[in-house]
Amino acid sequence: MRIVVLALLLASATATAEPGGRCAGGVCDVDTGPRPWVLTDSCHEDHDVVGYHRCPGFDWAKGENEPDIAVEAGLGWRHVLAPPVPAMMTARTASGDTPLADIATAELRLTVGLRGFYGGLELSIGDLTRRTYSFGALVQGGVVGGVQIPLGPFVVGAELLGGGRSERLTHNINNNMAPAVTAGIVEARARAGVWVTPWLMIEGALGTGVLDRRERFATVGVAFHSRTYAGQR
Amino acid sequence: MRGVWLAAALVGCAYRAGSFSAWGHEFAGQRATLGCLDLAIDRRADGPLGAVVAYDLGNRCDHAIRVDLSEAAVVGRTGSGDVRLAPYDPMHELRAFWLDGRTVGRETIEYRSEEPIAARDLCVDAGSVVETGPYWQCFSSAPEERAR
């Protein structure tokens, strides 16, 4: 393998680009016309003039319908249906068979937006341990879609999430692992955010379960956008 | 370059209107403000086949603006009159693009004429880049000639 890599590097270094030619993987096309001011002996970027550069240019340029890609991370609170206590376990602090639990979650999502509409994927991971059982975890994910409206430095919007949730409890993390309890979820949410830089937004959301209205949801987080102001201004 | 964008996002280094600089890079050449666009045009050392012009772009506004470097009108001034020069663009990269709000861009283009000419002076219509009306900027000679 090392020999192959060495050979490729050698070929790249020795492939002398004809002036104005283009290179890829050590192989250079020959263009016509003498251009002694373009001095290259490899396929590294050596020129910033259109037509001569080898790396793709126009990294600043956006297409008219280029979507905004947003990566968001945050912390959340969820008031969710907890799984029933497994018969083989003893709940540490469970009060009777109360099906609801308050848990903290870590939230991560990736969305793609255009012209005020967006869609994407969302993942939440929560800890069911503290108020329910010795050990417990919640993982939920789904597809999210919504609309957002810019209001000066603020953005408000509404969205819907559809997906699934898995909860698992155990009294001993090494043994007695209960089977995962899975359920489908639909959540309706209102979102709001404020731009702190053209690319960064601090945002929050409030939501409720659609299938079970007793479920509640709140998050705060930060979102990094590929287009300034999500390309909405 | 992506690292620069990421760093800029984290520290909030958006382009500041009228600054003609971004992230330590000072826009070079003659400056013009055309609507939302801060534009600096610089004539660089000529290549053997044409004149080389560098464009520094800065978006003053929060919204994206349309920038079309392929429409930039460039003429060479000879003793017998003006000659329209065409951008050298073998890969057909030049077309209308959008410059996001509060961001900057930079491109350098070589301009050639159908027949070799001895054009010492070069004029660029900055207004043709963003369709705001004529705004000619002229350069007396290539930098290497001025240095002689």
pLDDT, one tens digit per residue, over A194-232 is 999 999 999 999 999 999 899 999 999 999 999 999 988
Q: Three-state DSSP class for B5? A: helix
Q: Is the pLDDT of residue A11 over 60?
A: no
pLDDT at A206: 97
pLDDT at B3: 59
Q: Is the pLDDT of residue A3 over 50?
A: no
Residue spans of beta strands (DSSP E) within chain B: 21-22, 25-26, 30-34, 37-47, 50-59, 65-68, 73-78, 81-87, 96-99, 104-112, 121-125, 136-139
Assess contact for A126 and A137: CB atoms under 8 A: yes
**CA closest to B55 among chain A residues:** A49
How far apart CA A226 and CA A112 sit, in angstroms, is 10
Inter-chain contact B110–A62, Cβ cutoff 8 Å? Answer: no
What DSSP designation does B69 have? G
Q: For residue range A17-31, what is the model confidence (pLDDT) as tens digits?
A: 333 344 343 333 434
* Averaged confidence pLDDT in chain A: 77
* Averaged confidence pLDDT in chain B: 86
pLDDT at A151: 93
Between A173 and B121, where is the model more confident?
B121
Inter-chain contact B93–A58, Cβ cutoff 8 Å? Answer: yes
Contacts of B130 in chain A (CB under 8 A): none
Assess contact for A62 and A227: CB atoms under 8 A: yes
Q: Which helix (H) or strand (E) holds B14?
A: none
Residue B91 in contact with partner chain A when CB distance is under 8 A: yes
Mean pLDDT of A49-69: 84
Quick one: tokens of A15? 């492939």
Inter-chain contact B103–A229, Cβ cutoff 8 Å? Answer: no
Model confidence band, residue A149 (pLDDT cutoffs 50, 70, 90): very high
Nearest to B45 by CA among A170, A38, A80: A38
Which domains are delineated in chain B? Answer: 2-146 (2.60.40)
Contacts of B45 in chain A (CB under 8 A): 37
- Of residues B5, B49, B107, nearest to A57 (C-beta): B107
Sole residue written with tokens 């789904």: A142
Non-local (6+) Cβ contacts of A131 within 8 A are A93, A101, A102, A103
pLDDT at A2: 43
Inter-chain contact B9–A199, Cβ cutoff 8 Å? Answer: yes
CB atoms within 10 A of CB A22: 18
Sole residue written with tokens 């469970």: A94
Residue B138 in contact with partner chain A when CB distance is under 8 A: no
Sole residue written with tokens 């000879």: B78
Residue B28 in contact with partner chain A when CB distance is under 8 A: no
pLDDT at A99: 67
Q: Where are the alpha helices (DSSP H) in chain A?
A: 2-14
How far apart CA A174 and CA A172 sit, in angstroms, is 5
How far apart CA B59 and CA B98 sit, in angstroms, is 10
**How many angstroms separate the CA of residue A122 from the nearest CA in chain B?**
22
| Three-class HEC string of A175-189 | ECCCCCEEEEEEEEE
State the 10-residue block means of pLDDT for chain B, 148 residues long: 57 84 90 95 88 94 93 88 90 91 93 77 92 89 56
Of A115-124, A154-163, A176-185, the poorest mean pLDDT is in: A176-185
Give me the torsion for CA of A230, B1, B6, B11, rounded to 10°: -110
Quick one: tokens of B4? 């620069």
- Of residues B8, B13, B64, nearest to A62 (C-beta): B64
Inter-chain contact B108–A231, Cβ cutoff 8 Å? Answer: no
Contacts of B67 in chain A (CB under 8 A): 61
pLDDT at B24: 85
Between A169 and A138, where is the model more confident?
A138
Q: For residue range B77-105, what is the model confidence (pLDDT) as tens digits?
A: 887 888 899 999 988 889 899 999 999 99
What part of B 33-62 touches A (C-beta under 8 Å)? 45, 47-49, 52, 57, 61-62
Assess contact for A148 and A157: CB atoms under 8 A: yes
Report yes or no for ipTM above 0.85: no
Q: Is the pLDDT of residue A38 over 70?
A: no
